[in-house]
Every structure is written in structure tokens, then in C-alpha cells.
Structure 1
Amino acid sequence: MSGKPEAGDFTGWLVRSDVPRIGTFACSDPLLNHYYEVSLRTIEGNLQGYLTDCPHREKCQWTGDLHAVAEAASYNFDLSKFFPKAARDLRTTLGIVHPHPQSSLPRDPRAPANVAGGRRLPHQARPDWGAATVLVPHTAWLFYGDTGIVRENWPVMEGWMAFLREHAVKEGIIEEGYGDWCPPGSNSEIDTPVALTSTALYYKSLHAMRDMANALGKSGSAETYAREAERIKAAFIDRFHNRQAGHFGTQTGTAMALQLGLYPEARRARVADGLVRLIMEKADGRYTTGIFGHRPLYTVLNDNGKADVTAHLWQQTGFPSLRFLTEKHGLTTWPEVPYDWPEGERYRRNSFNHPMHSGFAAVFHESLSGIRPDPAQPGFRHFILQPCFLPGLEWARADHRSPFGTISSHWKRDGGRIVWNVTVPDGCSASVRLPQASAVRVNVQPAPAPFVELTAGDHTIELL
């Protein structure tokens, strides 16, 4: 080589697992398209036989990252063969490593490792990371209608839940875990109690077990998991709900509560208002969420009539913001988002290609386009269409190739109305949940808002 090479002298090749791309998204705002593309590049680059935490440094399938990003990945890639392997990888680690030094839980043959595939095998899974034992098969079942993965892993899932029930749950609360890992700044900035995130994920797992038990015809087990979920919900609200403020103390706590229905039934609107105050007043209009809170943050804002706050967060510059995360090193998302590390320190300590903070990208399909699976008929045999017409956005379009065919959701503003074109695959149906509008027409005919039922075919919905 005659001289120092320039960046243009190199050619990069993406090498990943051969899983088909089945989802697309685009909208009128180039910045949002950038967020989507950066997140997808991060996920795609980490599909290396398993979902690595980074493809070049640790190369480990950390189970917390796996379940945090599972839905965003599933909207965009066909992981129907990938997830069964991930579940098998988890099974190979059952009972083979010791608990974390700070853990009070015993070593148990029903517990997997924190890492299920990779260069190292550090410690038995803590309750929040080990939730992947249940949530990965559940995601595969929900997106692909795969009862095979449920049946194959049912004994392992039941064993994990029994282990938690016997050793971790105390008066309806799980006190330990890693917590809302890697919020803006560093792990020293985690502001949500570990007990909140671990208990919320246990509750989510109980609901997943209920749904999968019903899918296998195990009605007795389904009822048992449903009763346990109600007990956990009551304990969660009693412990973490700030009745005076209306929220759950932090952005992550409140976002997870709204996502999972862990709030007093009549107080949803007040909890959503509390989340807005935590963002706009306490955090000066910035997000403070880590791995578990960032995943649902924007969707729950949109679902609760707070899309203006989502739009505000997405347009922010500086630290912390999605723009800072995706433009400062603009190809992939990072694990840690440091503000004051010197440049040399950043590159030594950070991978700059870590999927844990790409989990939020599910919002582009599930919220901006509104495409959501229905647990009552998994695999998108029946699905929900619940879009958010984000303020300032002129149009958005998304496609998702389900096991039954391609679902399309394309909307645009046209003067004072919104025109929304939807495709429901053959043999499928969809329930439309609309925001309040003065009038709605479906295929030119007046229709009742906010709920509309669609059969297979192409439909035009007008919000007037």
C-alpha cells in the first residue's frame, strides 16, 4: 500500500443469517425514516445465527436484548425458524451456571443462563433477562401462529415460571434483576426500581402463558396463570402507583404500566397525563428510558392521545434524543448513550451496534401504521388496525408479509381528511380502532366510528 487508505477505499459487506425481509415502512418525514433504517440495520447486522448483542465484540445472545427487540425484528424479518433455534439455545443452558453474585436466588435446573449463545456464559438468568424463556416462544406464536414452538417449550416455560413463583415472588413482587439497562448516560442513571421492571415482566409472562395455555387446550393452566396475574397486578399497583401524581414514578415505570394494563382501571387517562409530565416537566422534554421502557414509550403515548409528545421527542436534538443516538454515529444504535465521554473513551467502551435500543422500532408498524397481531387469532389470521396519524406527518405506509399474505396500511392527509388504504389478506379479517372523527366512510359507505370490522380485500377508509 503506497499511502494511508481513505474511507472510500473500503467496501463493506453485510453478512447475516438468511432470513427473508418481510416488512417495510416509509413516511413523509426523512428523520423518522432515518430512525427506522438505523434500527433495522442494527437488528439485521446482529442476526448471526442468534441475535447477538453486537456482531464484532461480545457476540453474545443476551436474553434481555432478545426479548426487548423480538417484536420490532418480527415486523421486518421472517424469524419463524430463527426463534425456535433461540428457544433451543436457551434450553441448552438450563441449570449449568451459578447465579449472579448479587442474586439471592438459588441455582436451579429450571433456570437458563443470561446468555444463550455466544463467547461467554455469565451467570444464571436474572428474572428480567430470563423472561425471554417465555416471551420468545410467545412472540413466535403471536406473529406466526406457531403452536409447535409453544408445545416444544411448554415444560421449560412452566419450569421457569414455577422457579420464579417459588423463589423470587415475595408478596406479589420480584425484587431483583438487572433493571432498565442502559438509559441515557450510563447504568448509574437507571431511575426505575428493579422491582418494578422485573415484576412487570413477570406479569407480562403470566399473560403470555395464559394465552399459550389456551392455544394448547390447557384451560386449567390458563385459569391459574390468569389468577396469578391478577394477584401480581394488585401488588404492583399497591407498591408502585403514586396516586397523588397519577403515574408510576418514572417514564419507564409508567410506560410499562400503560403497555401492560398495570394501572387502576378507571385511571388510564390520568396515568397517561402523568407520563407526559414526567417527560415534559421532570425531564425537560427528553426521554430517560432504558432497554425496557424505550420499547413501549412512543406507542403508549400515541395510544393515549399524546402523539404530540411523541412528535416532540422525535424532533429533539442534543443529548439525550433519538437524533443524538442515530446521528452522532449514524449507522446503528448504541448500547450506552454517553454525553461526556471523550471520543477515544467512547470507542473503547461502546460497541455502537447494539440492538437493545432498536426495540422501539416496532412503533413504525404497530402505531404509525397500526398493524398489530391479535392473541385471540395469532399469526395475523385476525389482526388489529390501530394507527396514529402523527401530527406533522403527511403520510405513512407500511407492509408486513404475514403467514397468510401481505398486510398493507397506507394513509395520507388530503385537505381536511385522511385517506387510508388497507389490504387484508385472503382468509383473514381485521378490527379497525379509529381515533374519534367527525365522520368515517369505508369503501365510500358511512361507517360507525371508532370500531370497524374488515373482511379480506382492499379497503379505503376516509376520516372526515
Structure 2
Amino acid sequence: ESKDANTQERAGACYIKEHEGVMTQRDIFMAPKDKPELFAEAKTTLFTSHGFRFAEVCCTEEPPADVYSVLYRTAFQEWGYFDSSNVNINGAYELTKNALNSNMQGTQTDCPHRERLQYGGDLVANSPSSMHMFDLSAFYRKVVHDWTETQFSNGAYTETSTWHDLLADYGFGEGSGETVWASLPPVLTVRHMQHYGDIDFVRDTFSHHVEWCQFLSSKFEKAIQGWFGYAGDNLEGYWGSENENGLGDWLSLQTIDTYLTHHAFYMATARSIAYMAHMLEKDGSADEGTSFIGKEARSLARKIKDHITTKYLNDNTYQVQKGWDLSPGPDLPIFTRMVPGKKRCDILRNWLQFAGSGHDESWHGDEEKLFMNHLSSKTSKALLKKKIIGEDEDGMLMNRRFRHSTSEGILGVRYSLKTLSDFGFHNIALTRVSGDNFPGFAYMMSFNATTMWETWWRSEDLYSRNHPMLGAVAEWASSSVAGVSLAPTTTGGKDLLFWPRIPTNADVVVYASATQGTKRGDAAIAWRFEGVKLKSARTVKVRIRILAPPGSNALFRLPIYGCAYNATATVSYARTLPGLDTAKLNAASTCSSRRKSKNGFSYNWEYNSETEKWHKSLNKKAIGTPCASFLFDKSLADTNWSDSKLVTFKPEVPFKRSFDGDESDKLVELTPGLYDIVIEQWKLQKEIPDQPGY
């Protein structure tokens, strides 16, 4: 028992007032009455599992000796890495990796300290980042089997891998989960095939996924009519949801669109079935029934896509009501190629009125209000000047600066960032992720976060602060900021895409690198601006290094937009592969020294209980520390490079370039090896200023 029965009521540093009694993690030691100091004789388990940043021992004059903690997770290989010159982007990646590392103990839990449940929606959202960082071939095979082994006889999958009667109103009855959450098994099986090429796994689980699709088809239309009542019209009067008919883009700061996410993941299930049937046909193990199922699934996916387009395509917008921005918005249908090609540019431009907007909105969250009520006048004025906070009739409120923050939820983080970077507006994605404003990753770190939060706001009583739900940012960092990923149509990770989205200016990132592990070995990329004072330069040299592993098919996509006009590029390859192991050791040692020097995130907010004021404390941290890639290590200076080949940019024909005379090919094929690519005269542009609309 606690020495002080009112400890929790006092709401101290550790014993906060609980929400429904689930927040505080306690270990209670029952010491002998005659010798209470003998912790060695305490009657309790000798091994407990918690998620925490610090531990408090109370009710004793001296803390017990020889108490230690061990970080542990399921034993799989870490094979994905990212780094850049930007502390905030690095920090977002590191928050995600730390959260994943502490939520992989036999199952992938949502948080390690409270619910500890394997939610389908969380894995739908962050498995691309997980599979970038780790070799999860065995782990994710087991995760899918967690669902197939508990699948109901009617074909229903649940929202968690074991049924807990959670969120039943969002499902289709009879044990099923919400569409997005319960569609994880077929979606993850397809991603597993793309990374690891395990056709036996597809064969073993195919019938289970078909049963889920059949169950979904039998329930879907009636459920949608019951939830929305808009089956036969153009959704007139529908302005989004507040979680009353689905989870959708869970915990977005924008109004969520569950009608769209229900349909999108019904379509994703059908597409996954069609893909798996096609893979079984290619393998020669498909019978006539499998081929028929694949054909029917393709037809169903097209039908759902056409239905969504009919409901949402509105002049040059792709949203339910013109001028009403929901989450997800047009980024989901653009990213998933639901938008007709000829309409894609117009819809993208209209969406950018919101996604690239410079306007601000106020956030009325409870914790943020309390924070501002306990600021000194001097601090308040400084934050007002920087537009981190704003002021209206309700007093001071936290600012949401759309151009410099992220506000999407569990699904929208991936769709918005990938759409911006893939379709020519990478600069906006960079400013949003790297921003210091609320809501965003820097805001989390400013309150000492070391793992990803469940919410953008600072929850003190309900939501988790170790929750990788918003971790799709990590896969975006490696694939877009650095530029390495699996090719979209690959199986077994054989085909690689190297596509660095080189920034249009040097304001946010001046170098980046990433490693993507595969069954065949590591694929790696690094790029940097070279040779000039970046703040005053109008043009700059870009150097890119690429490592393609043995047995891979590598495609290099040149970063083409206005900055590349009149630029020239040359490609060389290493005649003999240099000592990369030495380069890796050198780079790791240098990075370790930099992290020990705490060259990362530089401050945090501290609360003074005596003055009852928050103040900004300049405390350097390791998290977010920029480090250089091994591909630029000095030990590679003597590499024997081949003669260079010229890559020409065609300014009069954007998005086309020639390589050895072939103007129609947008991609450069690279055989396994090490490459050095130099782009001369890369034009730097001033960032478009903040303004309403883009």
C-alpha cells in the first residue's frame, strides 16, 4: 500500500489523476514487517515489463540498490536507417523507431505500458515504416496468422488480432472490426510478398482473406446505408464524421471522412485479393477457382473506385463538398491512383489550396490552454511574435500553422506527405515535417518526447506517449527525403527505386541518406549540396551516391522539375567495390561521438512548481543529431571510378530526359554496384512565402 493514501489525489509528478484507472504503472513490493528495508525479501515478481522514460521509487528513505532496466524486443534484424541535416526530420524518424522498438514483443502493440493490443489500423498505417527499418519476414508472417487463427467462422476479421469487443459499433456486426482495421491481414500479406517474396505464405492465407472479402461484400452496402444514408445521392449534406460511424483517419485535427476510408479499404481488400491471385497464377499453383476469384476481385475493386469517383469528383476537386477539407482529402485518391489521370493535376492544384496553405487556425486543446495560462508575459510575447501562439477573444491559444505543421491522423500522414513529394511539391512536405510549430514532431520533442505520441496534442491523462501510430513519416523520410525504396511492383524486394527528391532550396535540408535492407543485401543512397555558400548561392552542385546490392534490379529516377532546367548530370560507377565495411565503421564512430556531444534537438519546456510558470530551457539532446552517410566517408576517396556518362535534361519537355539517346525512358537502369552521380547547375529557388492558399 502507498504510505500516503492521497498520493494519487495530489496529482504529483508520477501519480497523476488517472483516466478510468488505467494510466499509472505500479510495482508494489510487500516487505517483511520486521525488516521493511530488505527489498531482497520482498514478495513480488522479479521481472516486470513497462514502457517508461523514468521510474520513481517512493515511500522509502533510500532507493533500493541494484535495480536496473533492460530494453528488449523480439529478435529481428534492424536493416533500415535514415539521416539528414535537419534535426526535426531526424527526430521524427527517431521517435518512430524508438516507439516501434518498444512495441515489438511477440506482437506489435499500440503501446507497451497500457492497452498492449495489436490494432489492425496501427499496422496498416505504420507497417511501411516498420518494414523499412526491420526484417520482419517472420514477425509479420506471425502477425497475419494471429488474425487468421482467430478469424470468425463467418469470415470476419476483428479490429485487434484477438477479439476484445472493442469499438463494435464501427464494425459490421458478428465479430467484425472497422473496415480499415480489419482489412490489415490481406493488406499486410501483399506488403509481405513485395518485401520478401514468400509465395507459400500467400498460398497459406489466401482462402482466409477471400472469406473476409466475401463477408465484407455481404455486409458493406447495408452498413453504409445505416451509417450514412447517402447510398443513392451525391453525399449532399455530408460534412464528414466525428468518429460516430468509423475510426477513419483517427485523431486527425481535421474533420475525418469515414465514408471515404470505409470504401478505400474495401477497395484495398479487393485489390489485395486480386494481387494474391495473380501471384499464385504466376507461380503456377492457382486453380480455376483462384483465377476466377482474382477476376472477380479486380472487377469489385474497379466498381468501388468508380463509385468513389462518382461521389467525390466535383468539377476540378475530389472532395465531398466543394471547399470543405476533410481528412483524408484528395491526397488518398491521388496517392492510390483513383483520380483519373487527366484530372489529376487540376485536383492536385485545388488540394494545395489547403495542403500548402499559409493560413493559421487556433487550437483549443485543454493542455495547451493550461500551458499558456502559465507563461510569463515575456515568454508569451516572444511566442506571439514567432506566431507559435495566437490571440483571440478567448485569450491566448496555440496556433496551427498549416504550412509549418502536420495535422493529419493515423492514415493521412502517409497520404499527404507522399502525395506532396511524389507530385512535385516536396518543398511543402519538408516545411510541414520540419516545422517547430504545433502540431508536429518538434512540438513532441519540446516536451522531452523520446517516442512517438498517439496524439498531436499533449495529453496528460488518456492518450499514450509511446505509440507509433503516426510513424508513417519514417518511410517518407527514407523514400522521399533521401530517396531509396522498393519499386512499387517488386516481389521479394528485388526491384529498387532510387528517387531522391532534391529540394528546391537549401532552407530545410542540404544532405540526406538512407539504407534499405533487402533479402539480397543493403541498398543505400546519399546526396548533398556541394561547393558553395548555400545561403547566397543561386545554383549548386548536387552529388548523389548509390549502392545497389547484388542480384537487384535498380532504377534511378532523376529529380526533375524547374531547378533542373539547364542542368547537366554525369554518372560514374566504381570499377572495383571499395571497402564499405571500413566506411560504415568510420561513419558509425563519428555519429556516435556527435550523439554523445548532443548535437540534436536543443531545448525543452520546463515547469517551475514554485513560480508555477513554464519556461524554455536550452538543453541539448542526442535525438535528431545529424550524421553523415558512410557513402561519403573519407576512406572512399581513392575509389576507382569509371569514365562518366552524360545525362541530359530537356527543359522544353518537363518530366522527360534522355540517357544515351533514349528520350522516352524516364528511368535509368543501374546494375548492382556503387555509383557517383553529379548534377551541375542545380538552380536554387526562394521558398514561396506563407500566404492563404498556394
Residue identity opposite 1:354 in structure 2 = H
Pair 1:361 & 2:474 matched: yes
Q: Secondary structure at the match of 1:14?
A: coil
- Equivalence for 2:353: 277
SS of the equivalent of 1:168 reads: helix
Is 1:429 the counterpart of 2:553? The answer is yes
Q: Does 2:666 align with 1:459?
A: no
1:371 corresponding residue in structure 2: 484
Q: Distance in 1 between matches of 2:479 and 2:434?
A: 20
Which amino acid counterpart does residue 395 of structure 1 have in structure 2?
A: Y
Query: Does structure 1 residue 49 correspond to structure 2 residue 106?
Result: yes
Rounded Cα–Cα distance in structure 1 between residues aligned with 2:444 and 2:265: 26
d(CA) in 2 for partners of 1:463, 1:272: 28
Aligned equivalents of 1:375 and 1:215: distance in 2?
15
Show CA shifts across 1:107-148 (max 9, x none): x62012211149x45342121111102111111111111222
Q: Quick check: 156-165 or 307-316, which moved more? A: 307-316
| Structure 2 counterpart of 1:235 | 307
SS in 1 for 2:547: strand
Name the stretch that deviates more: 148-157 or 250-259: 250-259
Contact 2:251 2:410 in 1 (8 A): yes
Q: CA deviation at 1:3?
A: 4.3
Alignment of 1:158-169 (within 5 A): 158-169=210-221
Q: Deviations over 1:377-412 (max 9, x none)?
A: 312211222221234311111112200111011111
**Mean Cα deviation higher: 447-456 or 427-436:** 447-456
Is 1:440 the counterpart of 2:555? The answer is no
TM-aligned CA distance change 1:238 to 1:192, over 3 Å:
farther
Please give the secondary structure, in 2, of the residue aligned with 1:237.
helix
Whether the aligned pair in 1 keeps the contact of 2:316 and 2:347 (CA below 8 Å) is: no
Out of 193, 213, 216, the position equivalent to 2:280 is 216
- The equivalent of 2:515 in structure 1 is 399
1:17-74: per-residue Cα shift (whole Å, max 9, x none)?
A: 1111111111111221111111110111100111101111001001111221111000
Cα deviation, 1:404-437, whole Å, max 9, x if unaligned, reads 1110111111242211111111111112222223
SS in 1 for 2:109: coil
Normalising by the residue count of structure 1, what TM-score does the alignment of the two structures yield? 0.87
Residue number in structure 2 paired with 1:70: 127
Distance 1:245 1:50, change over 3 A: same
Kindly tell me: are residues 11 and 396 of structure 1, through their superposed partners in 2, closer, same or farther at Cα, counting changes over 3 Å? farther
- Over residues 294-331 of structure 1, what are the superposed CA-to-partner deviations in whole Å (9 max), with x where a residue is unaligned? 12321211111111211221232332222223432411
In structure 2, relative to structure 1, the CA distance for the partners of 1:202 and 1:41 (3 Å cut) is: same
* SS state at 2:158 partner: coil
Distance in 2, matches of 1:68 and 1:168, equals 22
| Structure 1 counterpart of 2:248, from 157, 174, 179 | 179
- Asked if the contact 2:483/2:514 (under 8 Å) is kept, the reply is no
| Structure 1 residue 417 corresponds to structure 2 residue 541 | yes
2:297 corresponds, among 198, 217, 225, to 225
1:132 to 179, 184, 194: 184
Once the two structures are superposed, the pairs formed by residues 84-99 of structure 1 within 5 Å of their partners are: 84-95=141-152
**CA displacement at 1:375 relative to structure 2:** 4.8
1:408 equivalent to 2:472? Answer no
C-alpha distance in structure 1 between counterparts of 2:157 and 2:319, whole Å: 34
Q: CA deviation at 1:234?
A: 1.5
1:207 touches 1:225 (CA, 8 Å); kept in 2? Answer: yes
Q: Is the 8 A contact 2:93 2:473 kept in 1?
A: no
Aligned counterpart, 1:194: 258
Which amino acid is the alignment partner of residue 437 of structure 2? G
Q: Does structure 1 retain, via aligned residues, the 8 Å contact 2:252–2:407? A: yes
305 and 251 in structure 1: CA distance in 2 versus 1, 3 angstrom threshold: farther
Of the three residues 155, 159, 172, the one matched with 1:114 is 159
Question: Is the 1:135–1:208 Cα contact (8 Å) retained in structure 2?
Answer: yes
Amino acid in the other structure paired with 1:330: A
Deviation at 1:151, TM superposition (A): 1.0
| Aligned-pair CA distance for 1:251 | 4.7
CA contact (8 A) 1:46 1:53 kept: yes
Give the superposition deviation at 1:265. Answer: 1.2
- Contact kept, 8 Å, 2:257 with 2:327, in 1: the verdict is no
Match of 1:288 in 2: 407
Give the letter for the 1:296 counterpart: Y
- For 2:472, give the aligned amino acid: G
Asked if the contact 1:297/1:360 (under 8 Å) is kept, the reply is: no
2:85 is aligned to 28
Match of 2:618 in 1: none
Instruction: Structure 1 unaligned segments of length 5 or more: list them.
Output: 96-107, 185-189, 340-345
Structure 2 contact 549–672 (Cα < 8 Å) conserved: yes
In the alignment, the residues of structure 1 paired with residue 556 and residue 340 of structure 2 have an alpha-carbon distance, to the nearest angstrom, of 26
- 1:187 is aligned to none
Q: What's 2:334 paired with?
A: 258
Are 2:551 and 2:672, in contact at CA under 8 Å, matched by a contact in 1? yes
Aligned partner (choices 294, 313, 332) of residue 432 of structure 2: 313
Q: Distance in 2 between matches of 1:457 and 1:254?
A: 39
From 131, 139, 142, the counterpart of 1:82: 139
**2:236 corresponds to:** none
Go from structure 1 to structure 2 and tell me whether the alpha carbon gap of 1:13 and 1:255 turns closer, same or farther (over 3 Å shift). farther
The answer as to 2:360 corresponding to 1:303 is no
Higher helix share: 1
Q: Percent identity?
A: 24
Checking the alignment, whether the CA contact within 8 Å between 1:197 and 1:292 is kept in structure 2 is no
* Cα drift, residue 336 of structure 1: 2.4
Distance of 1:45 and 1:455 partners within structure 2: 38
Partner-residue secondary structure (3-state), 1:353: coil
User: What is the CA distance between 1:267 and its match in structure 2?
Assistant: 2.1
Distance 2:333 2:278 in 1: 24
Q: Quote the Cα distance in structure 2 between the aligned partners of 1:325 and 1:57.
A: 20
Question: Separation in 2 of the partners of 1:171 and 1:319?
Answer: 37
Contact kept, 8 Å, 1:172 with 1:232, in 2: the verdict is: no
Is contact 2:249–2:408 with CA below 8 Å preserved after alignment?
Answer: yes
**Is the Cα–Cα contact under 8 Å of residues 250 and 411 in structure 2 kept in the other structure?**
yes
Check 1:411–1:169 CA distance in 2 against 1; reply closer, same or farther (3 A cut). Answer: farther
1:5 CA displacement: 6.3
Instruction: Verify the 8 A CA contact 1:171 1:235 in the aligned structure 2.
Output: no
Post-superposition CA distance 1:234-275 (Å, at most 9, x none): 111121234244656435222211210121211222222233
In the other structure, the counterpart of 2:12 is: none
